[in-house]
Amino acid sequence: MAGKRLSELAELVGGEIKGRGDALITGAAPLGEAGPGDVSFVSGRKHAGLLSRTRASAVVVRDAGEAPDGLNLILAGNPELAFARILGVLRPQAAPAPGVHPRAEVHPGAKLGSSVSVQAFSVVEDGARVGDRTVLFPGVYVGKGAEIGPDCVIYPGVAIREGCKIGARVIIHCNSVVGSDGFGYARDKARYVKMPQTGIVRIGDDVEIGACVAIDRATMGETVIGRGTKIDNLVQVAHNVRVGEDTIIVAQAGIAGSSRVGSRVQIGGQSGVNGHISIGDDTGIGARSGVAQDVPPRSVYTGYPAIPHTEWLRAQNLYSRLPELRKKISELEKRIAGLEADKAEKE
């Protein structure tokens, strides 16, 4: 079975070997499931106890610590990052063969780069551009005038609507929609009149978008997702939102129209962000929070409505004591009523 020597993997990640550098590594597995030939990793104390019981041939760790004698180690400053790179080498994803499938439809006015793969039932409309080595899996729709950069992977069922711009090395997972109409209507007495959504979506380089994500086109101008941002499954990004670089948006979060989300922000799952507000750089939003006002940079907000995390912790501590406090207040009310009655009798 093909594999890599432990010394090769250590060199790949800039790690130091403790043990046999000639050990052959053929696979990767979680620490508790790994067997001979597998490499695994430990990133914190939580799983360090499993080291003494693992059957893995090697483990990536920050330091030798409690590792038993005889266990091969790669010492790395960031074991999770090192393991991610090792996993990419041991389990590389096979790229589909370049070319246009006979059952795909590519308009004569579209432009495909070199080594592009357009698979069955995909459609590339007039004026669209697809960059070198990009893969369009079955059932992808690329609208009129849309642009996709090089080395992108667009999975089945994705729709990239007309005019939208996708950067380089972008990954979009199944059934996501980039450039659907924003939810915009003008009120005419009891009826709603659709506001034409004439803008686009612009996705930066190295963005990854999960499954069933909807990113709406701008009413005018652009909805923007910045370079390196990662979006989990089932996220809604409304029209004219701008998201900065290297931001994380977790599953089932929703961002309302014209909001600004900074760079290196982390938005927890099932959170909601109100429209027309700003979230500063380097900010954390706790899971299931409702952000209704601007959030300053380098802060952490939690709760519904979202407040600074330290205030939320104090409020939660108080909330758990409400039954006890209610009982004490009731007792105090009775005592005060008794004292007032005694005072009235004496008077």
Positions annotated as catalytic residues are 239
Cα dihedral 310, 313, 314, 317 in deg (nearest 10): -170
CB atoms within 10 A of CB 108: 5
Confirm if 174 and 153 have CB atoms less than 8 A apart: no
Least Cα distance to 68 among 91, 47, 94, 48 occurs for 48
State the SS3 of 55-89: CCCEEEECCCCCCCCCCEEEECCCHHHHHHHHHHH
Confirm if 76 and 93 have CB atoms less than 8 A apart: no
Query: What's the chain's Rg over C-alpha atoms?
Result: 28
d(CA 279, CA 265): 8
User: Which residues are registered as beta bridge partners of 99?
Assistant: 117
Which tokens hold the place of 47? 């799983």
